[in-house]
């Protein structure tokens, strides 16, 4: 699944009473089954088939419920659901990015799931994942798949360069890059200049884009400047791949890594399956997965994934059917099947079976989940990636200085968060 993080930013939600909405795509009558609509935002080519198979299993086990399956491109789904929720046509169930929960809940589009059949196994899920499916102390989503960023690296290239372990700090990565380039001729590191991939550099200095507790924008704080300066220093060092700021940057970097033309990248488990198709990783054991390197204040990577949520505008019969469907799709058995077929990470411990962790990509990222940083419970949070990314590209390409660029990003963030003070 290629994550269109930059494209899938939040649009400021308009508030609407969800009780006044109705789902135009759902139907039922006293003589037939209830039909619910599910918008699946998974990759239509590599992942959707697994979910379609699970829908058939659910319908077989629940003959009184039919599921209308619709695959909606991830990059379009947030705005499309928001628009549909304000009129007729919203789906009963949506596969929502974790960052969408606060905004949709704030607008009244989602049904709280605490105490419903959908949340019957709540205690089986990773606590941090439940935390970011919760807004203002109400549970609005059930985690279906999860992810975090890690350092993917080519073990063979590292060994050829005389490096016997993954770098634990940005300074160690900088040193490793130069050795790899010198010993193998291959670029040591490539960076995708999207805002989401810059977050470990902020977390590594103990900061985030905002401080929710103090209602303060921290995008241009001294810690944030230090983090992005660290990134700048890394990209200017010997062994760094030439920066790609084209629209195909993501694909180009993944192709280079998978074919052995670059030794390390920052990436998430959604690319496991594609990496293993590459010539450099025919032997899956050649893929190294380690925590993103640490900054001066420690190490951290964003915790992501997708939750299944229920539309608040559906009637009681559809709510009940939706809750059963969500429980089925997030069960240990369903998550095990998804992990084995798609190579993605389950959200509950009992789904990490012997067969699932036999996949080195899954096993590697499972070890990183406990250190993931949950998304802040702020409706506008996902929108902040846009000003960060816009200025990040200018900074790393030398158009503006780090402080100047982050000051501009903070000013743009201030327009999204007028109640927040600047650093």
Q: Is the pLDDT of residue 24 over 70?
A: no
Please determine, for residue 198, whether its predicted confidence score (pLDDT) is greater than 50.
Answer: yes
Q: Are residues 67 and 209 in the same domain?
A: no
- Domain tally for the chain? 2
| Angle of helix 170-184 versus helix 222-236 axis, rounded to 10 | 10
Q: Is residue 13 part of a domain?
A: no
**284 and 402, same domain (yes or no):** yes
Asked if residue 129 has pLDDT above 70, the reply is: yes
Q: Which stretch of 16-30, 77-91, 203-217, 256-270 has the lowest confidence by average pLDDT?
A: 16-30
Give pLDDT, residue 23.
Answer: 41
- Same domain assignment for residues 258 and 383: yes
Q: Does some domain include residue 261?
A: yes
Which of 11-25, 56-70, 127-141, 240-254 shows the lowest per-residue confidence on average (mean pLDDT)? 11-25
Is 422 contained in some domain? no
For residue 90, what pLDDT band results from cuts at 50, 70 and 90? very high
Residues 308 and 291 reside in one and the same domain = no
For the segment 117-127, the average pLDDT, to the nearest whole number, is: 96
Indicate the pLDDT class of residue 324, thresholds 50, 70 and 90.
very high
Query: How does pLDDT run across 218-268, given as a tens digit for each residue?
Result: 999 999 999 999 999 999 999 999 999 999 999 999 999 999 999 999 999
Average pLDDT over residues 380-409: 96
Task: Tell me the residue range of the domain where 136 lies.
Answer: 18-147+304-373
- Does residue 361 share a domain with residue 216? no
Looking up residue 118, the CATH number of its domain turns out to be 3.40.190.10
Quick check: is 423 in a domain? no
pLDDT averaged over the chain?
Answer: 92
Q: Are residues 177 and 237 in the same domain?
A: yes
215 and 160, same structural domain? yes
């Amino acid at each position: 699944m290629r994550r269109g993080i930059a494209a899938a930013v939040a649009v400021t939600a308009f508030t609407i009473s969800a009780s006044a909405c109705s789902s135009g795509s759902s139907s039922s009558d006293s003589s037939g089954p209830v039909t619910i609509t599910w918008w699946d935002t998974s990759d239509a080519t590599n992942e959707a088939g697994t979910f379609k198979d699970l829908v058939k299993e659910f319908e077989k086990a629940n003959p009184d419920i039919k599921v209308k399956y619709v695959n909606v491109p991830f990059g379009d789904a947030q705005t499309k659901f928001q628009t549909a929720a304000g009129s007729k046509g919203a789906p009963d169930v949506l596969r929502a990015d974790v960052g969408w929960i606060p905004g949709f809940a704030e607008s009244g589009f989602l049904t709280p799931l605490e105490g419903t059949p959908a949340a019957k196994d709540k205690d089986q899920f990773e606590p941090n994942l439940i935390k970011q499916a919760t807004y203002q102390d109400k549970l609005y989503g059930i985690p279906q798949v999860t992810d975090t960023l890690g350092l993917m690296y080519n073990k063979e290239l590292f060994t050829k360069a005389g490096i016997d372990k993954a770098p634990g700090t940005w300074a160690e990565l900088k040193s490793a890059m130069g050795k790899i380039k010198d010993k193998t001729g291959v670029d040591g590191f490539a960076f995708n200049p999207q805002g989401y991939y810059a977050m470990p550099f902020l977390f590594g200095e103990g900061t985030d884009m905002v401080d929710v507790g103090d209602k303060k924008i921290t995008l241009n704080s001294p810690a944030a400047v230090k983090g992005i300066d660290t990134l700048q220093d890394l990209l200017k060092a010997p062994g760094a791949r030439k920066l790609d700021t084209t629209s195909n940057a993501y694909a180009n970097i993944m192709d280079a890594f998978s074919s052995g033309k670059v030794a390390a990248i920052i990436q998430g488990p959604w690319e496991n399956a594609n990496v293993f198709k590459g010539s450099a990783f025919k032997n899956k054991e050649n893929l190294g997965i380690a925590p993103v390197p640490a900054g001066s204040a420690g190490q951290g990577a964003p915790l992501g994934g997708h939750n299944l949520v229920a539309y608040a505008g559906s009637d009681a019969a559809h709510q009940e059917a939706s809750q059963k469907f969500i429980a089925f799709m997030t069960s240990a058995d369903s998550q095990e099947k998804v992990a084995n077929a798609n190579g993605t990470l389950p959200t509950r411990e009992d789904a990490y079976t012997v067969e699932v962790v036999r996949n080195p990509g899954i096993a590697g990222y499972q070890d990183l989940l406990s250190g993931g940083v949950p998304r802040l419970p702020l409706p506008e949070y996902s929108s902040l990636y846009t000003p960060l990314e816009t200025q990040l590209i200018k900074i790393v390409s030398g158009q503006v200085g780090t402080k100047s660029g982050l000051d501009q990003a903070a000013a743009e963030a201030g327009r999204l968060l007028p109640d927040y003070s600047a650093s």
